[in-house]
Structure 1
Amino acid sequence: MTTSLIERLGHPAGTRAIILNADDFGMCHAANTAIVERLEDGTLDSATIMMPCSWSPEAVSFAAAHPELDLGVHLVLTSEWRRYRWRPLTGVATTLVDDDGFFPADAAAVERNASAADVEAELRAQVSAALEAGVDVTHLDNHMGSVYGLVTGRDFIGPVLALAAEHGLPFRLPRSADGLGVGPEQEELLAGAVAGADALGVVLPDRLWSHSFALEGEGTAGEETYEQVRDGFFALLRAVPAGVTEIYLHPMIDGDDLRDTVDFAAAKRGYEHRLLADPALAAVLAEEGIVRVGWRDLRAVQRSERVAGVRA
């Protein structure tokens, strides 16, 4: 009989647990400032670092100085903004770049053009760079879903899982498609990837949720307010079922630096920074009886089970 992840973490089977993760640590100073604040005040459970970005040294320095925090690697194969771009750590003589020598803007281009060998080399370089800089990497996830094969069906899950197994790291691959809004083909792809992770002993969360990346109605009279974003997020939390759900956000400081960097949704990034520290968030979690766990907890399960020769 399969034991659920929440039970392997030491909680009763019906426990509703979340991990609040901040993506894009290291992308820019506005992201770093916001994420450091929320890690230090405990309103974030974890964050993941974009190693190819210009501001990653600041994030890496913080991570290396705080080995007690849950900090992972946000595996990067895309560079989505028009005015601020980043390149592979493995250089530009590769199938991973566009005509300008940067990572492409979307996952579709990665799926169509990247060679598996180049992807594996780049992802290994990103994890190695974090480890060599002294980061106690707790987990891996992926920027813009570029390894999942969600556009064309051509995925790079195999190299990621091999890397995760090699280093004893859990990976952000949801065991269930619940809440993802994907079709039957993507669900079949996910099922195959989950089976691959299980065969390698890579621990996965039960599900992966977030709210819209965009700010609805941006630039119009109907633009979302902070209160609307907050209330929508609270509704998401109230719907969390039993098991372990990672909820990922992109908190940043909304100001001139961020607005000069990103093409849209700067205000929402600021709202997420504010939301995490809103006392009403803690109140909702308490009312709902939702437990917060961390990726370090999942890593401990994975490594202990590897030593014991267990496959869940």
Structure 2
Amino acid sequence: MSNERYLIITADDFGLCRSMNEAIIELWEARAITSSVIMMPEAWAGQAAEYAAQHRDANIGIHLTLKSGFLQKASDQAVSTEIRSQIEAAIQSGIDPTHLDSHEGSLLGLADGRDFLELVFDLCEEYRLPFKLPRNIVHQPFFSGQQRKLFRKRIDSADRRCIPLIDELIILPYEHEPGEDYPSVKRQLSQAIRDMRAGITELVVHPARDTAEMRTITPHSAKRELEFRLCMDEEFRKLVADEGIQLISWREVRDGMRLGRTNT
């Protein structure tokens, strides 16, 4: 991909609740995002799946959700079965999934070092789907040396299996930080866009409407509305264009995989 910079803008947690669904659907209608990921076990997944099935141009991945509290005690077979069930549920609901990723990194072994990535990669090969694992994860200083070594091993495995990966990940802090306001977060995100390097970068946002429902789910409901506003911000969109960054989706990555092309 030479020196070109590609950006996927992904709205996370589609299906979590009504407030998130409304925001994400509005972003799709405005063409303010290029991808989204659905949480099939969640209460509002049905509404999200219905929208995805009726709008085949919406690029929807599967946000694999394994957060019951028993994951680290689960057998490999149980984990694989659960992942497959979420993929199949999405397909049966009419979704043409573009990729897989892991809710809160639960499959990456961030908690205690036990990851399930090889199981995920088995299913990526079977369903011909890419997986969200940024290559620059091996350079993040907040991971231990052992974790970075594990990630290098898994990235090598993905490459051998011809499972395409993205290069970089941009994600704003989920929490509302002291002194934070819309202009400051916009400046932070704008600088991250300017600093993008060649390759495929994914910007992940958690947009929602700041409603009573959302406030019962998280104390950071206002931050969710803020991220929604950022995606709709015309100045932000203009910055991406002015920087010469090409907007793509996970669909292009998946289709390239199925044609035998990867970004390794």
Normalised by the shorter chain, which TM-score bucket? over 0.9
CA 1:62–1:176: 2 relative to 1, 3 Å: same
Structure 2 CA distance for aligned equivalents of residues 268 and 154 of structure 1: 31
In the TM superposition, residue 311 of structure 1 has moved relative to its aligned partner by 9.7
AA aligned to 1:196 is S
Q: Which residue of 2 aligns with 1:91?
A: none
In the TM superposition, residue 180 of structure 1 has moved relative to its aligned partner by 7.2
In the TM superposition, residue 115 of structure 1 has moved relative to its aligned partner by 2.1
Q: Which residue of 2 aligns with 1:285?
A: 240
Q: Which residue of 1 aligns with 2:198?
A: 242
Structure 1 CA distance for aligned equivalents of residues 51 and 259 of structure 2: 27
AA aligned to 2:61 is G
Q: Which residue of 1 aligns with 2:154?
A: 193
Q: Does 1:253 align with 2:213?
A: no
Q: Which residue of 2 aligns with 1:48?
A: 37
TM-score, with structure 2 as normaliser: 0.95
Larger displacement relative to structure 2 (131-140 or 184-193) = 184-193
1:154 to 92, 109, 114: 114
Higher relative contact order (CA 8 A, sep 6+): 2
Q: Which residue of 1 aligns with 2:251?
A: 296
Q: Which residue of 1 aligns with 2:96?
A: 136
Q: Which residue of 2 aligns with 1:202?
A: 163
3-state secondary structure, aligned to 1:187: helix
Q: 1:71-110 to 2 correspondence within 5 Å?
A: 71-78=60-67, 103-104=68-69, 110=71
1:229 to 175, 182, 185: 185
Q: Which residue of 2 aligns with 1:266?
A: 221
Q: Which runs of at least 4 in structure 1 moved beyond 3 Å after TM superposition?
A: 178-181
Structure 1 CA distance for aligned equivalents of residues 148 and 140 of structure 2: 12
RMSD, aligned α-carbons: 1.6
Structure 1 residue runs without a partner (length 5+): 1-6, 8-12, 79-102
In the TM superposition, residue 205 of structure 1 has moved relative to its aligned partner by 0.7
In the TM superposition, residue 207 of structure 1 has moved relative to its aligned partner by 1.8
Higher Cα radius of gyration: 1
Q: Deviations over 1:288-312 (max 9, x none)?
A: 2211111000011100008xxx895
Q: Deviations over 1:70-100 (max 9, x none)?
A: 101000011xxxxxxxxxxxxxxxxxxxxxx
Structure 1 CA distance for aligned equivalents of residues 263 and 196 of structure 2: 26
How many equivalent pairs are there?
Answer: 263
CA 1:60–1:180: 2 relative to 1, 3 Å: farther
Greater share of helix: 2
3-state secondary structure, aligned to 2:136: coil
Kept in 2, the 8 Å contact 1:201–1:311? The answer is no
Q: Deviations over 1:129-186 (max 9, x none)?
A: 0001110111111100000012221100011111111111111011222567423222
Structure 2 CA distance for aligned equivalents of residues 291 and 193 of structure 1: 28
Q: Which residue of 1 aligns with 2:16?
A: 27
Structure 2 CA distance for aligned equivalents of residues 185 and 154 of structure 1: 12
Structure 2 residue runs without a partner (length 5+): none
Structure 1 CA distance for aligned equivalents of residues 110 and 212 of structure 2: 34
